[in-house]
């Protein structure tokens, strides 16, 4: 294994129908018109020295090392800024060029420290032997190092002002946090307004560090551990973007995670979480040994794997004997690999012999699965991420990509800076609404819970003003369904003027936005949990699909309906048959033919009756009908709504098995703890939001001594099921045999192609970047009537404000991982955002402790006053367990899928000076139930 060094062509790829032939150092080369001489040379492996050039950004021409000679051209043009011309004759080496390059290098070195550095390496490469200027003159050698960022430092003494960091921040990341301060000899790289990196707008994505050619920007961990010696290509385990990374390793230790240029989801870019926040994987809090206990009040007892598996299997069998086959079940994790999820659902269906399996997608994107399947025929987003580069107008609904899907947000911003239009439908003023060089054409700040009214109003404008694509509808959609939907939408109850009373958004603004979406060319809808986590989550997904079909915006590049998936493998966990009513590949358990395939493969009979969904598991546990549960990598006690109810359910179980990296909140109620493996130990695949299956490769051996899939299989075998695999690739082979859309997927094919977007069938052996190209998967596109039904959760005199929740860039969901990294420097507590008017009415000032009360419970957070909120709406994140955000959320849920209504809770907020009762209790209970026997 070696360290992968990716080729840098110096300037970005240019696309052109016209090719240009030229000659470089006697070799002919043909490149598209507009290509730089540097890129042309590097495509034929002719290296031209350079410092300021990178193919991730436009050429800049500042370092002057890449000068070349061109026949018939005076002087020595920079090869990075000079485009090729037909029959050009280029010389990249000559005595004259060497002399100029050494002269420039000599100047650089006269103001550069004498130490091991890439710049000194370059000087050596150019054959620079002496430095006639010495280092006594004016210089920057005593510059102060900025090490405010927890992950990297900036040493200006090594900087050559090539501005690659500034340009990376602008062109790649799109944050514009850096600048060149001053001019001439006094100029220096400055974060923000001559601030430290930490105080500036820097989001710590790492693009500048990666871009720096002189190691002025330098990772602290490389400084501590030393340079890596080999790379392992793998996939990030945070959000649904699924960035490709090279884990760079020294001996057996991970030194750093470098974004992989060939990663099709990220093209070499990263965010703070994927790039830097992986150290939880080697955190001391990780539990490495299995543990068991008879009662949750007992201390944990560390045991060997054999004993833990025997204990688990016999407890589960005893419970089934006493309370029936259906008294046990489990939840699969969207953080685990497809292979690990597949074996857990197999464990439940084959060994537990019931369908009591559900997954955390229940609480996030289950409405996506339902809504897109009913309308289009497939429970997945329609596009590949790169499609956005061909969008003319984007509609972002209930999503905050700059925080939750940062790498894709950077790509969106790149397209927006090229001139694409933007409509944001969100109660909050998110970063996409306005940030440097980005400004939404329309922001529709609707009241939480009124999405369906809004989408109907937009459709109303499209239909009444004749802006639909009737040819597309006639050819590709079900005519009866369309007519029925059209009659419904045309009803004046759906006009922007009528729904204004619900949404609070001016009708004229809605009309303009609708016209913009329908008439700008390629229209793409991107949405997040602000769509799904509502009592009408599924209705809204259907509403968006209706609108996209009506305007002809499905089945090509640049268009589509795209869920931004929250977790690395939420798409995969759904694909893998994690729902109680569906086998892998979304086939109903009641379908005899589909079930028959599994029965034949597994050699046993399967239950044809759907099992419990997560909320039903909790209800049944409280009723005493559901006695044991296997929870794979999910912290339901913190993440699921109405914490009081969840805790009561967990408390009522006779056996709770938790498989996780850490003793999480759920583990407080557990009897068996099976230590899990981090993504750095896993061998398998993740499927991202664009249906892309990517390999996750082990960087180190499982620190627990056993792979997670093997743990589940051993429990299955101990309970009598045949679950034996020698390698996770065999699990994928079984998935491929049983799942039509995965037919041609295998580890070998993935290694060959890098990644595959399902469906991967005989018709599409390399996968399918865009869905529904030649027609809808379900046949004809299905329009469904989406009547707006207001949520029962609405503001009242007692609870006059609406609380909505979300995620922040530096933390991830329940924070089990990110809280165990240095990311806490950006966010160490959850905060309640409140509009100045609401704060003033309640005498609240910034930083006050406030009590948030709903009809379900109360919790205490610190308040922050911000005009990003609209009056009447408050907002918080849910990353910290002690915040208890879900103490206040309700048990309302989506009518079709039971996805909880996290995004709407009526609350009252007032000043306080103490913690809530739950928080007081939490402190005590939290430590007592985590005790491990010495």
Q: Which residues bind other proteins (CB under 8 A)?
A: 175-183, 190-194, 200-201, 434, 436-439
Alpha helices in 702-794 (DSSP H): 708-718, 728-738, 747-753
Element (H, E) at 308: helix 305-323
Query: What is the Cα–Cα distance from 456 to 789, expressed in whole angstroms?
Result: 12
Element (H, E) at 21: strand 19-24
Q: How far is the CB of 463 from other proteins (least distance, A)?
A: 34
Q: How far is the CB of 200 from other proteins (least distance, A)?
A: 7
Which residue, 200 or 639, has its beta carbon nearer to other proteins? 200
Which residue, 88 or 191, has its beta carbon nearer to other proteins? 191
Q: How far is the CB of 177 from other proteins (least distance, A)?
A: 6
Which residue, 184 or 843, has its beta carbon nearer to other proteins? 184
Q: How far is the CB of 158 from other proteins (least distance, A)?
A: 21
590 to each of 253, 330, 607, 926, how far by Cα in Å? Answer: 48, 20, 8, 42
Which residue, 208 or 617, has its beta carbon nearer to other proteins? 208
Query: What is the Cα–Cα distance from 216 to 379, expressed in whole angstroms?
Result: 47
Q: What is the 3-state secondary structure (H, E, C) of 436-497?
A: CCEECCEEECCCCCCHHHHHHHHHHHHHHCCCCCHHHHHHHECHHHHHHHHHHHHCHHHCHH
Q: How far is the CB of 864 from other proteins (least distance, A)?
A: 17
Q: How far is the CB of 259 from other proteins (least distance, A)?
A: 23
Angle (deg, nearest 10), helices 95-109 and 118-125:
150
Which residue, 362 or 415, has its beta carbon nearer to other proteins? 415
Q: Are 810 and 403 in contact (CB under 8 A)?
A: no
390 to each of 380, 552, 558, 596, how far by Cα in Å? Answer: 20, 15, 4, 43
Tokens 């990598």 correspond to 633
Q: How far is the CB of 438 from other proteins (least distance, A)?
A: 8
Exposed, middle or buried: residue 504 (CB in 10 Å: 0-12, 13-18, 19+)? middle
Q: Are 154 and 140 in contact (CB under 8 A)?
A: no
Phi, psi of 164 (to 5 degrees): -60, -35
Q: How far is the CB of 187 from other proteins (least distance, A)?
A: 8
Which residue, 176 or 602, has its beta carbon nearer to other proteins? 176
Query: What is the Cα–Cα distance from 496 to 503, expressed in whole angstroms?
Result: 9
What letters, b where the CB count within 10 A reaches 16 and e where it falls short, cover 393-422? bbbbbbbbbbbbbbbbbbbbbbbbeeebbb
Which residue, 177 or 454, has its beta carbon nearer to other proteins? 177
Own/partner pairs for 315-319, CB < 8 Å, 24+ apart?
315/628, 315/654, 315/655, 315/671, 315/672, 316/352, 316/628, 316/655, 316/715, 316/719, 317/719, 319/627, 319/628, 319/654, 319/655
Q: How far is the CB of 207 from other proteins (least distance, A)?
A: 14
Q: How far is the CB of 180 from other proteins (least distance, A)?
A: 6
Which residue, 193 or 796, has its beta carbon nearer to other proteins? 193
Q: How far is the CB of 439 from other proteins (least distance, A)?
A: 6
389 to each of 268, 384, 430, 728, 773, how far by Cα in Å? Answer: 16, 10, 21, 36, 18
Which residue, 200 or 916, has its beta carbon nearer to other proteins? 200
Q: How far is the CB of 208 from other proteins (least distance, A)?
A: 12
The vertex-721 CA angle with 718 and 726, nearest 5°, equals 85
Which residue, 40 or 191, has its beta carbon nearer to other proteins? 191
Which residue, 403 or 830, has its beta carbon nearer to other proteins? 403
Q: Which residues are within 8 A (CB) of 403 and not within 5 positions of it... i.e. 6 or more apart?
A: 430, 431, 806, 807, 808, 809
Nearest alpha-carbon partner for 398 in 529, 543, 500, 541: 529
Q: How far is the CB of 104 from other proteins (least distance, A)?
A: 23
Q: How far is the CB of 181 from other proteins (least distance, A)?
A: 5
Which residue, 177 or 844, has its beta carbon nearer to other proteins? 177
Q: Which residues are within 8 A (CB) of 480 and not within 5 positions of it... i.e. 6 or more apart?
A: none
Element (H, E) at 417: helix 406-417
Q: What is the 3-state secondary structure (H, E, C) of 802-829?
A: EEEEECCCCCCCCCCCHHHCHHHHCCCC
Q: How far is the CB of 171 from other proteins (least distance, A)?
A: 13
Query: What is the Cα–Cα distance from 193 to 177, expressed in whole angstroms?
Result: 9
Residue 162 tokens, joined? 């090539």
Which residue, 178 or 463, has its beta carbon nearer to other proteins? 178
Nearest alpha-carbon partner for 898 in 398, 354, 367: 367
Query: What is the Cα–Cα distance from 73 to 595, expressed in whole angstroms?
Result: 73
Using only the alpha carbons of the chain, give its radius of gyration. 29
User: Helix, strand, or coil here: 91?
Assistant: strand
Which residue, 13 or 194, has its beta carbon nearer to other proteins? 194
The vertex-235 CA angle with 234 and 240, nearest 5°, equals 175
Q: Are 382 and 770 in contact (CB under 8 A)?
A: yes
Q: How far is the CB of 169 from other proteins (least distance, A)?
A: 8
Which residue, 193 or 470, has its beta carbon nearer to other proteins? 193
Q: What is the 3-state secondary structure (H, E, C) of 151-185?
A: CEEECHHHCCCCCHHHHHHHHHHCCCCEEEECCHH
Q: How far is the CB of 163 from other proteins (least distance, A)?
A: 10
Which residue, 188 or 780, has its beta carbon nearer to other proteins? 188
Which residue, 170 or 426, has its beta carbon nearer to other proteins? 170
Q: How far is the CB of 138 from other proteins (least distance, A)?
A: 16
Which residue, 195 or 824, has its beta carbon nearer to other proteins? 195
């Amino acid at each position: 294994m070696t360290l992968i060094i990716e080729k840098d062509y110096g300037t970005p790829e240019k696309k052109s129908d016209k090719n240009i032939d030229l000659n470089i150092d006697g070799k002919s080369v043909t490149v598209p018109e507009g290509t730089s001489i540097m890129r042309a040379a590097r495509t034929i492996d002719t290296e031209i020295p350079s410092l300021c050039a990178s193919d991730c950004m436009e050429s800049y021409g500042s370092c002057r090392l890449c000068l070349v000679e061109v026949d018939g051209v005076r002087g020595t043009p920079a090869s990075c800024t000079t485009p090729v011309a037909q029959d050009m004759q280029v010389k990249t080496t000559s005595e004259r060029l060497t002399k100029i390059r050494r002269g420039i290098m000599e100047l650089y070195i006269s103001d550069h420290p004498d130490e091991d550095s890439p710049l000194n390496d370059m000087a050596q490469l150019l054959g620079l032997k002496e430095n006639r200027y010495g280092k006594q003159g004016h210089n920057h050698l005593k510059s102060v190092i900025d090490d405010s960022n927890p992950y990297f430092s900036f040493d200006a003494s090594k900087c050559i002002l090539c501005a690659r960091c500034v340009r990376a921040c602008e062109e790649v990341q799109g944050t514009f946090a850096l600048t060149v301060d001053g001019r001439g000899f006094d100029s220096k790289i400055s974060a923000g307004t001559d601030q430290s990196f930490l105080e500036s707008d820097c989001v710590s994505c790492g693009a500048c560090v990666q871009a720096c050619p002189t190691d002025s920007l330098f990772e602290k961990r490389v400084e501590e551990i030393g340079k890596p010696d080999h790379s392992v290509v793998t996939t990030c385990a945070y959000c649904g973007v699924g960035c490709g990374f090279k884990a760079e390793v020294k001996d057996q230790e991970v030194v750093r995670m470098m974004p992989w240029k060939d990663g099709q989801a990220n093209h070499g870019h990263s965010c703070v979480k994927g790039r830097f926040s992986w150290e939880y994987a080697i955190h001391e809090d990780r539990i490495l040994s299995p543990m068991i206990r008879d009662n949750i009040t007992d201390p944990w007892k560390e045991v060997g794997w054999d004993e833990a598996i025997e204990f688990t299997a016999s407890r589960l069998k005893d419970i089934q004997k006493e309370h029936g086959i259906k008294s046990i079940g489990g939840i699969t994790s969207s953080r685990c690999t497809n292979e690990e999820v597949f074996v857990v659902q197999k464990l439940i269906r084959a060994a537990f012999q019931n369908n009591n399996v559900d997954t955390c997608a229940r609480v996030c994107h289950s409405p996506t699965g339902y809504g897109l399947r009913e309308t289009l025929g497939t429970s997945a987003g329609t596009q590949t991420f790169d499609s956005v580069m061909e969008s003319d107008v984007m509609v972002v609904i209930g999503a905050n990509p700059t925080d939750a899907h940062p790498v894709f947000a950077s790509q969106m911003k790149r397209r927006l800076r090229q001139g694409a239009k933007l409509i944001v439908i969100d109660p909050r003023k998110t970063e996409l609404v306005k940030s440097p060089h980005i400004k939404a054409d329309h922001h529709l700040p609707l009241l939480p819970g009124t999405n369906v009214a809004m989408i109907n109003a937009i459709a109303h404008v499209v239909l009444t003003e004749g802006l639909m694509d009737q040819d597309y509808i006639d050819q590709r959609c079900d005519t009866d369904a369309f007519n029925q939907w059209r009659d419904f939408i045309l009803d004046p109850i759906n006009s922007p003027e009528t729904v204004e009373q619900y949404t609070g958004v001016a009708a004229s603004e809605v009309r303009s936005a609708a016209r913009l979406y329908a008439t700008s060319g390629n229209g793409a809808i991107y949405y997040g949990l602000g769509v799904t986590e509502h009592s009408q989550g599924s209705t809204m997904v259907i509403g968006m699909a209706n609108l996209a079909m009506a305007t002809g915006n499905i089945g090509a590049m640049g268009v589509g309906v795209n869920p931004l998936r929250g977790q690395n493998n939420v798409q995969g966990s759904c694909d893998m048959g994690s729902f109680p009513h569906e086998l892998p590949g979304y086939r109903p358990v009641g379908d005899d033919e589909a079930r028959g395939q599994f029965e034949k493969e597994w050699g046993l009979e399967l239950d044809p009756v759907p099992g419990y969904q997560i909320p039903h598991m909790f209800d049944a546990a409280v009723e005493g009908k559901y006695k044991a549960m296997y929870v794979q990598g999910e912290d339901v006690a913190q993440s699921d709504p109405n914490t009081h109810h969840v805790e009561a359910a967990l408390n009522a179980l006779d056996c709770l098995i938790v498989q996780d990296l850490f003793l999480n909140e759920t583990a407080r109620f557990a009897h068996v703890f099976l230590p899990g493996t981090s993504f750095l130990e896993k061998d398998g695949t993740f499927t991202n939001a664009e249906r892309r299956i990517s390999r996750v490769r082990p960087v180190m051996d499982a620190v627990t001594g056993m792979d997670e899939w093997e743990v589940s299989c051993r429990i299955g075998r101990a309970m009598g099921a045949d679950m034996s695999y020698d390698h996770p690739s065999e699990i994928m082979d079984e998935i491929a045999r049983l799942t039509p859309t995965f037919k041609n997927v295998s580890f070998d094919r993935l290694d060959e192609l890098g990644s595959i977007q399902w469906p991967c069938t005989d018709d599409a052996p390399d996968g399918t970047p865009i869905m529904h190209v030649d027609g809808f998967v379900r046949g004809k596109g299905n329009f469904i009537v989406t009547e707006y039904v207001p949520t029962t959760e609405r503001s009242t005199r007692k609870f006059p404000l609406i609380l909505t929740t979300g995620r922040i860039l530096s933390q991830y969901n329940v924070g089990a991982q990110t809280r165990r990294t240095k990311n806490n420097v950006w966010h160490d507590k959850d905060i309640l955002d409140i509009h100045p008017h609401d704060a003033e009415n309640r005498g609240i000032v910034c930083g006050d402790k406030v009590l948030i009360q709903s009809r379900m419970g109360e919790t205490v957070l610190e308040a922050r006053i911000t005009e990003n909120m609209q009056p009447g709406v408050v907002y918080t994140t849910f990353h910290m367990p002690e915040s208890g955000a879900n103490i206040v959320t309700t048990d309302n849920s989506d009518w079709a899928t039971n996805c909880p209504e996290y995004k709407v809770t009526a609350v009252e907020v007032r000043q306080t000076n103490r913690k809530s009762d739950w928080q007081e209790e939490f402190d005590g209970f939290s430590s007592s139930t985590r005790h491990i026997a010495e």
